[in-house]
Chain A
Amino acid sequence: GESVGLHLPTLSVQEGDNSIINCAYSNSASDYFIWYKQESGKGPQFIIDIRSNMDKRQGQRVTVLLNKTVKHLSLQIAATQPGDSAVYFCAENAGGTSYGKLTFGQGTILTVHP
């Protein structure tokens, strides 16, 4: 079936650097996307979301970019901090009868070195 995929990459950065985490999705019907942060042994924590009628959205230190043409989503973290170390997942919702059902990508492990 269609899925959101991240192919298990890892990303190591130095404290203070900017981080970019990428996600490719395959369901062209998806109209809502969310980035989550998951620390070990905990549930996913909401970071930022974006609807399909937008191509960019900014939060505090984070920016999500959506490119529907190539079905690509990215999360940019500015001035990355050690506390940002976690697994990051993108998730999509197809809306309609699938309202509320999220399909998750495989996750990216972000490690921030002091």
Chain B
Amino acid sequence: GAVVSQHPSRVICKSGTSVKIECRSLDFQATTMFWYRQFPKQSLMLMATSNEGSKATYEQGVEKDKFLINHASLTLSTLTVTSAHPEDSSFYICSATLGTALSVGYTFGSGTRLTVV
């Protein structure tokens, strides 16, 4: 089945530093990947849509200069949290579509727990 790999699973960084999170589709080409953020005991909130070879589309209220998204290939999208602050501590999850038809659900990565100290 379709697998999305996310790395790292956990990361702790100092306030003011940047952190990069990788999302890879292992056995399929994902033209579109999505990045979500989930705070404790809350739901997933879409941050941005990442399309291969083009600029990401950010949801309202998400700072594009703070959350840099790169989708350089059909199997890799990266999210970089720049100048991280404690309020950026969250669970970040990516997902990828399996194709252009809505025949299957979207596959999610295992998530990255970011803690900014």
Of the stretches B65-73, B77-85, B101-109, the one at the interface is B101-109
- Cβ contacts under 8 Å, B111 to chain A: 41-43
User: Is the beta-carbon distance between A106 and B109 smaller than 8 angstroms?
Assistant: no
Residue among A43, A44, A49, A104 with the highest chain B CB neighbour number at 10 A: A43
User: Is the beta-carbon distance between A51 and B46 smaller than 8 angstroms?
Assistant: no
User: Is the beta-carbon distance between A34 and B106 smaller than 8 angstroms?
Assistant: yes
Residue among A32, A93, A101 with the highest chain B CB neighbour number at 10 A: A101
Q: Which of B41, B44, B104, B113 contacts A44 (CB 8 A)?
A: B44
Q: Is A62 in the interface zone, CB < 8 Å from B?
A: no
A27 to chain B, nearest CB (A): 14
User: Is the beta-carbon distance between B107 and A46 smaller than 8 angstroms?
Assistant: yes
Q: Is A25 in the interface zone, CB < 8 Å from B?
A: no
- Cβ contacts under 8 Å, A34 to chain B: 105-106
- Cβ contacts under 8 Å, A101 to chain B: 34, 46, 49
User: Is the beta-carbon distance between A46 and B105 smaller than 8 angstroms?
Assistant: yes
* Cα distance, A106 to B107, chains bound together (Å): 19
Q: Which of A42, A95, A105 contacts B43 (CB 8 A)?
A: A105
What band does the interface of chain A fall in when counting residues whose beta carbon is under 8 Å from B? 20 to 34
Task: Given A32-B102, A41-B111, A44-B93, answer yes or no on A102-B34 (Cβ-Cβ < 8 Å).
Answer: yes
Task: Given A42-B110, A101-B46, A106-B43, answer yes or no on A95-B102 (Cβ-Cβ < 8 Å).
Answer: yes
Task: Given A41-B111, A43-B6, answer yes or no on A100-B106 (Cβ-Cβ < 8 Å).
Answer: yes
Q: Is B54 in the interface zone, CB < 8 Å from A?
A: no
* Cα distance, A107 to B95, chains bound together (Å): 18
- Cβ contacts under 8 Å, B108 to chain A: 36, 43-46
A37 to chain B, nearest CB (A): 11
- Would you mind naming 8 contact pairs between A and B with Cβ atoms under 8 Å apart? A41-B91, A43-B6, A44-B95, A46-B106, A46-B107, A102-B46, A104-B43, A106-B42
> B: which residues have CB within 8 A of A?
4, 6, 32, 34, 41-46, 49, 91, 93, 95, 97, 102, 104-111, 113
